[in-house]
Amino acid sequence: MDILKIADKTFTSRLFTGTGKFGSSRLMQEAILASESELVTVALKRVDVENESDDMLQHLKTTSVNLLPNTSGVRTAKEAVFAAKLAREALQTNWIKLEIHPDPKYLLPDPIETLKAAEALVKLGFVVMPYIHADPVLCKRLEAVGVQCVMPLGAPIGSNKGIKTLDFLEIIIEQSNVPVIVDAGIGAPSHAAYAMELGADAVLVNTAIAVSQNPKQMGIAFKKAVEAGRMAYKAKLAPIKRQAEASSPLTSFLNL
Amino acid sequence: MDILKIADKTFTSRLFTGTGKFGSSRLMQEAILASESELVTVALKRVDVENESDDMLQHLKTTSVNLLPNTSGVRTAKEAVFAAKLAREALQTNWIKLEIHPDPKYLLPDPIETLKAAEALVKLGFVVMPYIHADPVLCKRLEAVGVQCVMPLGAPIGSNKGIKTLDFLEIIIEQSNVPVIVDAGIGAPSHAAYAMELGADAVLVNTAIAVSQNPKQMGIAFKKAVEAGRMAYKAKLAPIKRQAEASSPLTSFLNL
Amino acid sequence: MDILKIADKTFTSRLFTGTGKFGSSRLMQEAILASESELVTVALKRVDVENESDDMLQHLKTTSVNLLPNTSGVRTAKEAVFAAKLAREALQTNWIKLEIHPDPKYLLPDPIETLKAAEALVKLGFVVMPYIHADPVLCKRLEAVGVQCVMPLGAPIGSNKGIKTLDFLEIIIEQSNVPVIVDAGIGAPSHAAYAMELGADAVLVNTAIAVSQNPKQMGIAFKKAVEAGRMAYKAKLAPIKRQAEASSPLTSFLNL
Amino acid sequence: MDILKIADKTFTSRLFTGTGKFGSSRLMQEAILASESELVTVALKRVDVENESDDMLQHLKTTSVNLLPNTSGVRTAKEAVFAAKLAREALQTNWIKLEIHPDPKYLLPDPIETLKAAEALVKLGFVVMPYIHADPVLCKRLEAVGVQCVMPLGAPIGSNKGIKTLDFLEIIIEQSNVPVIVDAGIGAPSHAAYAMELGADAVLVNTAIAVSQNPKQMGIAFKKAVEAGRMAYKAKLAPIKRQAEASSPLTSFLNL
């Protein structure tokens, strides 16, 4: 079977999702369940440590999905480490999606702080999943300090633009010894399928599902697209050709 | 249910396939069955009218798929009409995929001969499915003479380049009163999903399945991708944005 | 010298321009002169046969540019032939830019009527320059009836989208025995340079110059871009490579 | 006049070039002079400090171009600082193009080492021009430590792929307070024009000129393209539109 392994966990679904931007907790739960995603990011802000009745968390806790806290909102390595520790307490998990984006407009990740935080968090025993620019050299450096995967972006978060970093994702996938998960920018099932066809190990999709007019149906659509892209990758795509080739043999009956 | 209707037939699958280029008749049958395609093109050349033991046809006749003869190989309207009549005799169907491509290198369709043949074939009672360039004006003219759908190309046949006619497909889909089926050039499941997300009614895929290293798996991959694209189209995609938007709300906990 | 020849005329500039959409006749004249264009389209509507003081024409007649009347506004071959004759009378030229676009929204050309009109106009002694979709088969058919060039579109008129028909322009350029002039859709100097790098013989630019904030400067910009693209085509572009290659040799001084 | 200022120097040309990969020193000199480039990178390896008769340097020293030594070949910040000091000695300039690419296959820059080296070199009084991935956050961090410009890549060095980092270059240009010079990947004049149209302050081109069949002509082509793109940027491009707009007014003469 086609299993994805990250640290001590295995996944049969290669579609990771998020919990932001949904119209309601119920819509979120429905969409995530329909997507069959097994790993779901959650912003620390949403985790109300004190409040047992926190709506969103309760919805997710009744399912079998793994919660992956993220550090969204921090601007430095130091803040990220602090946030990761808080998240570990609150959610009882040493997995952390590392996001450090000082810029409030485009939310693009900071390569310097991310590497620094990753190194510190690995030493503290975290399973670190860093969200980064599609920078092949940075990916190798993160791998060298012990992250369990790399999460390069396809396009700015929430832009829905798709795979705008193709030339660099190809290099990252070629060179990486840890799973490559394309994160951010995926706005349509075709984008997700494309990332998987390139050889990505998984994708993370949030906005495109959450703000669709029908999040549940969109969750299913992404599930199918990710499966399609993965199957195509394994079955090998036909090569691109400049000259056409008839798929129907040219009939010569008229000359008979 | 989401049914596609063309002339007197209804389809639950929006993936049409072809029979060319497969390594063997068995591989072809397996892939087509796995794809759950309900309409399959077949070149007249492959139909051996005399020979009851024709291998390929026997493989397909045992299934529930509809055979759609094509006129591949003809170069003029006159030849196309002749071929269509032969096909009707041989396969006992008045459906015809009209393909007229005089150029042996790129196999691009001839707009003039195609319109002429379409008009004649409609008058002869055929259900005409014309393969054409992604030319919005030609599509409207074909519609005016009574074709049952239009089949604009995404890229040259067998090129596997994907949807290279985007700007024109969008116009065709916007203006058409008959189903729009994207034909030729689709080389990966992501391409098929993309065409469906744009609002195409179906896609036709042949080479990409047939020459894959694993046609059966690729057939399934395309089936999933077409379903994904169609579901996404109906659930409405999130809009593309220039500025990023956080899917995780910015945590303010550090300022508390 | 690098001369373009069409019918009996030679051109040193490969930038053709148009007269529509300018803020004033003075701005138009300035921009066209600055662009050094030698062939300028003019809509028949603008030509006031009776009125000797017609402003726009007077501005252009004082220059050395050749006026190229177009049939913009006609919807059939018959109307096109009628318009061409009127234009010949009014402007004393047998050159005609053939444009037949029945659709008022996207102004895309009609392949059937265009071929029909082209054939008739060639027989009437016109130098026919047909504006068409980037349809390689149609280009060859037009060539066969005697047009003096083909003018495939890059994108819908006035869209400024650039070269959206790349895969088909490449085939047209490869196969054509008459000059290929990319018309419509060119919205920036980089688009014009790109068309020329592909091997187009000339480009026609109107909207992008006319609606710029500074038409004169934009006219110069397009002139330079067309020259750049043409020179690059002749000097041969470096090939695209997947793997990087250092343009600076890797210094080994540190190992010495 | 449209002057580019970096540190204490002003430039009338916005085309920077390089000295690698030319067939001969004579071809290099011819091409660079023809391009009218005023800033030319040179790899330290090529600078033979001891040898007064060094061919390449002699060719360039007789011209008025500014030489810009680069640190190509170094893999760490420490090596880069060492190389920069050597270069300062050899060429009597405190300008340095900072390139740190540990990966020998794709030569992509290392963001961590580059920032570290930039900070050290600025403190040592260098005018630092860092070659980097098109990473908007990294650009702002480099700006914060005092670099005089940023040089984000369009595509991997020597790939000739063009502007593959569009979405990120746009953000970099929007946010930068220092000149943005697009470096690496520019393979055709149309690419250079496009970068300038986006608002880049300059471009650096080497491979595309050096390995052309006619480097001198290609140098001129790039010069024109850069000027065209810059002029278009200043004159403001026409907006991209979805619906077509006639540049020729629809003639109504037929209805009269």
Q: Supply the ipTM of this predicted assembly.
A: 0.91
Distance CA D228, CA D233 (A): 9
Distance CA D205, CA D212 (A): 12
Digit-coded pLDDT (tens) for D27-51: 999 999 999 999 999 987 655 555 5
**Which residue from C153, C185, C157, C14 is spatially nearest to C72, judged by alpha carbons?**
C157
- Does C218 fall in a domain? yes
Report the residue from D103, D138, D168 with minimal CB separation from A111: D138
Digit-coded pLDDT (tens) for C70-110: 999 899 999 999 999 999 998 899 999 999 998 888 889 99
- Read off the pLDDT band of B44 (50, 70, 90): confident
DSSP string, D125-156: T-EEEEEE-S-HHHHHHHHHHT-S-BEEBSSS
C252 or D67, greater pLDDT: D67
Q: Find out whether C23 is annotated in a ligand binding site.
A: no
User: Is pLDDT of C200 > 50?
Assistant: yes
Chain A residues inside the 8 Å CB shell of B188: 193-194, 197, 232, 237
* pLDDT for res C47: 55
| Tokens at C26, concatenated | 């003075």
Residue listed under structure tokens 């138009």: C28
Interface test with D, best of A167, A173, A174 (most D CBs within 10 A): A167
- Does B194 fall in a domain? yes
Domain membership of residue C184 as a residue range: 4-236
Digit-coded pLDDT (tens) for B47-58: 555 554 456 666
Digit-coded pLDDT (tens) for C158-188: 889 999 999 999 999 999 999 999 998 999 9
DSSP string, D13-70: --EEEE-TT-S-HHHHHHHHHHHT-SEEEEEGGG--SS-TT-HHHHHHHTSSPEEEEE
* pLDDT for res D255: 43
C25 Rama sector, left if φ>0, alpha if ψ -120 to 50, beta otherwise: alpha
Chain C residues inside the 8 Å CB shell of D99: 248
User: Is pLDDT of A130 > 90?
Assistant: yes
Query: Longest Cα pair distance anywhere in chain C, in angstroms?
Result: 85
Three-state SS for chain B is: CCCEEECCEEECCCEEEECCCCCCHHHHHHHHHHHCCCEEEEEHHHCCCCCCCCHHHHHHHCCCCEEEEECCCCCCHHHHHHHHHHHHHHHCCCEEEECCCCCCCCCCCCHHHHHHHHHHHHHCCCEEEEEECCCHHHHHHHHHHCCCCEEEECCCCCCCCCCCCHHHHHHHHHHCCCCEEEECCCCCHHHHHHHHHHCCCEEEECHHHHCCCCHHHHHHHHHHHHHHHHHHHHHCCCCCCCCCCCCCCCCCHHHC
DSSP string, C194-211: HHHHHT-SEEEE-HHHHT
Whether A154 has its CB under 8 Å from any CB of chain D: the answer is no
Q: Find out whether A62 is annotated in a ligand binding site.
A: no
Into how many domains does chain C fold? 1
Burial class (CB in 10 A: 0-12, 13-18, 19+), C21: buried
- Does C255 fall in a domain? no
Kindly state the average pLDDT of the residues C41-66: 67
Interface contact D231-C217, CB threshold 8 A: yes
Is residue D224 within 8 Å of residue D215, measured between CB atoms?
no
- Does A247 fall in a domain? no
Distance CA D247, CA B254 (A): 57
Distance from the D138 Cα atom to the nearest Cα atom in chain A, whole angstroms = 7
> Please, what is the average pLDDT of chain A?
89
Is residue A107 within 8 Å of residue B247, measured between CB atoms?
no
| Tokens at C161, concatenated | 């989208």
Distance CA A55, CA A46 (A): 9
Interface contact B115-C115, CB threshold 8 A: no
Chains that touch B (3 or more CB pairs under 8 A): A, C
Interface contact B158-A212, CB threshold 8 A: no
User: Is pLDDT of A37 > 90?
Assistant: yes
Kindly state the average pLDDT of the residues A166-194: 96
Of C9, C97, C116, C223, catalytic? C97
* pLDDT for res A105: 84
- Does C72 fall in a domain? yes
Interface contact D213-C231, CB threshold 8 A: no
**Which residue from B163, B133, B156, B194 is spatially nearest to A241, judged by alpha carbons?**
B156
Q: Please, what is the Cα angle at A143 between A141 and A148, to 5 degrees?
A: 150
Distance from the C111 Cα atom to the nearest Cα atom in chain D, whole angstroms = 18
Q: Where are the alpha helices (DSSP H) in C176-252?
A: 189-198, 207-210, 215-235
* pLDDT for res D243: 67
- Does C253 fall in a domain? no
CATH number of residue D188's parent domain: 3.20.20.70
Burial code of D181-216, b = ≥16 C-beta within 10 A, e = fewer? Answer: bbbbbbbbbbbbbbbbbbbbbbbbbbbbbbbbebbb
Chain C residues inside the 8 Å CB shell of D42: 248
Digit-coded pLDDT (tens) for D190-241: 999 999 999 999 999 999 999 999 999 999 999 999 999 999 999 999 888 8
Residue C236 is among the residues annotated as catalytic for this protein = no
Distance CA A228, CA B209 (A): 13
Q: Find out whether C184 is annotated in a ligand binding site.
A: yes
Interface test with A, best of D167, D175, D176, D191 (most A CBs within 10 A): D167
